[in-house]
Amino acid sequence: MEDQNALEVIVLDVDEAIVRQKRLLEKYRPTVIPLRDRSEALRYWCRIEELERLRQLLASSVGTVKGKVIFYGSGDYHHLAYLGISLMDEPVTIIHFDNHTDFGRSRQRYIHAGSWVVNSLELSHVRKVIQLGIDGDLSLRKDIPMPIGPVTHKISLLCDGKVEVYPNSMHRSVLFGRVRATLPCVEFKPRLLTTEANWKNIQDHGGIEATLERILPAIPTDAVYLTIDKDVLRESDSFTNYLGMQGSLILNELLAAISLIGRRKRIIGADVCGDGSYSAARGYPLKRFFARLKDRKIHLGSFYSQENIRLNEDVNLKILERLMEQWK
Ligand SMILES: [Mn+2]
């Protein structure tokens, strides 16, 4: 019989999305940290101090998070990745699967599901972030049709080589503002007020494994931390809060990537989000507005359908299986 303790799983239960996945609970017997009373306070964004408190709670509840996998439900909580990342204790490169770059600008003293990469790169042990699968960002977005560029995103992180962005299929986009840099992942052509970006996307450059074989030898650390937002996957492979706006990566490509990273590098920690969940946002007018706008295409029943819960649980189990192969 397999040793079930070989892989330790932590659930930050902010939105019930993971604890509904009964096979996952039975198989891995995760440490569940109850946070549902903070569900709306933490969704989309929260104050940095709030995460500092949570980090202490996490560390005191589980000791180390090194070599463990953290689940926390919807990608609306992707800033909780900062907890696991900040608790790593050696120089590390973050390998980030997502449909979005998450290095947007946010209000001072706040951390956001779309800005946590900026905060993570402020940690001295975090050397670099490699982003894979990004098709829904750094272009005119369907959900929030506003110009994207240095005003909305911290593009300097890209220019300084702190972040590399590899879309899955997007090959060209236009940024508002002039950007100049010579980078391995993109060619910028500055115009008068805009910049044309030609991306070295995954599909047109040999697929996910060829892309990783090119990138991994150049990253500055042996240790890597994986953070996976399953909105990077196509819709038949994942039910998220980004219905109609998900990425195009196929589950088997994600799994192959995890295996390859595990063979070439030392995975020291991981977290997974993107399990769709409903937000009532009671008591938070701004979040409520945001939730209504963002989730408008999702039928309420979809959040509770057994089919969607099973779909997400299957993906989580496969991700865990792959990680377990790397860690056994
Ligand atoms: Mn994300």
Q: What would the pLDDT profile of 184-228 be if each residue is shown by its tens digit?
A: 999 999 999 999 999 999 999 999 999 999 999 999 999 999 999
- CA 114 to centroid of ligand 1, rounded, Å: 6
**pLDDT bracket for residue 1 (50, 70, 90):** very low
- CA 119 to centroid of ligand 1, rounded, Å: 14
pLDDT at 6: 57
- CA 254 to centroid of ligand 1, rounded, Å: 15
- CA 285 to centroid of ligand 1, rounded, Å: 23
Percentage of the chain lying above the pLDDT 90 cut: 91
- Domain count along the chain: 1
Q: What is the domain range of residue 309?
A: 4-327
- CA 112 to centroid of ligand 1, rounded, Å: 10
**pLDDT bracket for residue 142 (50, 70, 90):** low
Task: Identify the CATH number of the domain in which residue 271 sits.
Answer: 3.40.800.10
Tell whether pTM > 0.85. yes
- CA 23 to centroid of ligand 1, rounded, Å: 25
**pLDDT bracket for residue 144 (50, 70, 90):** low
- Taking the C-alpha atoms of residue 286 and residue 290, their distance in angstroms, rounded to an integer, is 6
- CA 150 to centroid of ligand 1, rounded, Å: 19
CA dihedral 156, 53, 241, 105 (to 10 degrees): -20
- Taking the C-alpha atoms of residue 184 and residue 32, their distance in angstroms, rounded to an integer, is 41
| pLDDT tens, residue by residue, 24-51 | 999 999 999 999 999 999 999 999 999 9
Q: For the chain, where are the E strands, in sequence order?
A: 8-13, 31-34, 45-47, 68-71, 92-97, 110-112, 126-132, 163-166, 172-176, 186-190, 194-199, 223-229, 266-273
Residues with CB under 5 A from ligand 1 (ion): 75, 78, 98, 102, 229
Q: Which own/partner pairs from 207-214 qualify as long-range (CB within 8 Å, at least 24 positions apart)?
A: 207/253, 208/132, 208/249, 208/253, 208/254, 208/256, 208/257, 208/260, 209/256, 209/257, 209/260, 211/132, 211/166, 212/132, 212/257, 212/260, 212/261, 212/264, 213/260, 213/264
- CA 63 to centroid of ligand 1, rounded, Å: 26
